[in-house]
Amino acid sequence: MGAHPDDIELGCSGTLRKHILRGDEITLIIASFGEKSGDKERRKYEAETVAKLMGVKELHFLNLPDTMIRHDGVTVSLLDRYIDENVDIIYVHSPKDYHQDHANIAKAVLSASRKMKNSIFFYETPSTTIEFRPTLYVDITDVFENKLKYVRQYKTQRNKEYMEEQAIIGLAKYRGYNIGVKYAEAFEVGRLRIF
């Protein structure tokens, strides 16, 4: 789950690639088209291109307004359409994020999951606050090139500093160093269901 096109790729696309290679079914949900950072149709096309590259069968847009996503009944009811007993794990932004859309979509996911028995893992993006304290790490060394390939598809965002490959490589290396591997993605555990 991401607030904008490119959030999922930055935050957890290596982990999602590992799920896909394992045969897990993945659904991507993007709350807005990110129209404040580029043409709506172009941004949608970029997200669809990445979904195909990843091998994701379902991609849904909630069509919420970029920079104005709220944690309210409207957003929660939109998420209720997709969050049910068949969803085992949800990856979403951390609520500890400077971008209001990121923080609000994380809170809305928690609300929509209130009666569910799933795990919720919060990923980090460039706007995640320093309060982000990961306790779950996924070794993405074997799929890291895939992550870079996915991020490269967002040509409309290439001038953003946080989209520079060196920034993505640096964070993945740092998180990998935390657990003794070359590259990793890190998550806070919002809720963990083992059985």
DSSP code per residue over 172-186: HHHHHHHHTSS-EEE
CA distances from 55 to 82, 109, 144, 152, 156 (A): 19, 24, 16, 16, 22
Separation CA 193–CA 8 (nearest Å): 22
pLDDT for 194? 82
In a domain, 18, yes or no: yes
In a domain, 157, yes or no: yes
In a domain, 195, yes or no: no
pLDDT for 84? 86
In a domain, 1, yes or no: no
Separation CA 164–CA 179 (nearest Å): 24
- What pLDDT tens digit does each residue of the chain (195 aa) get? 999 999 999 999 999 999 999 999 999 999 999 999 889 999 999 999 999 999 998 999 999 999 999 999 999 999 999 998 889 999 999 999 999 999 999 999 999 999 888 999 999 999 999 999 999 999 999 999 999 999 999 999 999 888 999 999 999 999 999 999 999 999 999 999 886
Structurally, how many domains does the chain consist of? 1
* 3 closest CA partner among 73, 103, 82: 103
In a domain, 2, yes or no: no
Long-range contacts of residues 59-63, Cβ cutoff 8 Å, at least 24 apart: 59/27, 59/28, 59/29, 59/30, 60/27, 60/28, 60/29, 60/30, 61/29, 61/30, 61/31, 61/32, 61/33, 62/29, 62/30, 62/31, 62/32, 63/32, 63/33
In a domain, 71, yes or no: yes
Contact present, 51 and 59 (Cβ < 8 Å):
yes
* Whole-prediction pTM: 0.95
In a domain, 139, yes or no: yes
CATH at 162: 3.40.50.10320
Using a 10 angstrom Cβ sphere, with 0-12 exposed, 13-18 middle and 19 or more buried, the burial of residue 154 is buried
Q: Structural domain of residue 137, as residue ranges?
A: 7-190
In a domain, 32, yes or no: yes
**Pairing of β 119-123 and β 89-93:** parallel
Spatial neighbors of 30 by CB under 8 A, at least 6 apart, are 1, 2, 3, 4, 5, 7, 8, 47, 59, 60, 61, 62
Contact present, 105 and 6 (Cβ < 8 Å):
no
